[in-house]
Amino acid sequence: MRKLAPDRFAETEYYRRHYQATGIVDEIGFVLKLRYADAVLSLSRMGEVPAFSRRDIVRLESAAPVVRALAERHWHARLDPAGGEDAAATISHPLLSKRELEIVTLILKGHSTYSIAATLGLSPNTVKVHRRQAYAKLTISSQAELFHLFLSRR
């Protein structure tokens, strides 16, 4: 995270809602190149533990080719749209509007509120309203719960 986090990352809503809420103190990600999507396999240090040491990072970097190969092999076909499972359909809900489903799908793809607004031609406040409504309909209250809901149905 130290290499990738933007300036003032610790002041962002995402940091407060995700890192502070979960207790993550450091994170290392393996970027996976899948057939239909890129993904990140994340290892996190949580709670009252130190951040990853330089030694930890060197060990994980040396293991990265094997970790990536195994993870890519495991998830390669799972995200195949031709495999009959549409990610958006997995999180569908009878009360979720088309716009709410679009927003939830973009959230799951890693888009921020501002990125979703730009992609869909909406204001960030409108995105926030749709997000709140979708979360209420899905009976969740956070992005972490949204990811859990999505992953538990896979």
Around Cβ 59, how many Cβ atoms within 10 Å?
Answer: 12
CA 68 to chain centre: 18
> pLDDT-based confidence at 91, cuts 50/70/90?
low
28-32, 58-62, 82-86: range with lowest mean pLDDT:
82-86
Residue of higher predicted confidence among 93 and 29:
29
> Does residue 124 carry a pLDDT above 50?
yes
**Pair of tokens at residue 8:** 């003032």
Alpha-carbon distance of 25 to 9, in angstroms, equals 13
Q: Is the model's pLDDT at 59 over the cut of 90?
A: yes
pLDDT at 89 over 50: no
Number of H helices, E strands in the chain: 8, 2
pLDDT at 84 over 50: no
- Domains of the chain, CATH where assigned: 9-75 (no CATH), 86-152 (1.10.10.10)
Instruction: Judge whether 91 and 101 are in contact, CB under 8 Å.
Output: yes
What's the pTM? 0.46
In the predicted structure, residue 90 carries a pLDDT above the cut 60: no
User: What is the pLDDT at residue 93?
Assistant: 72
> Is pLDDT above 60 for 81?
no
34 C-beta neighbours (distance < 10 Å), count: 16
Average model confidence (pLDDT) across the chain: 81
Distance CA 5, CA 140 (A): 27
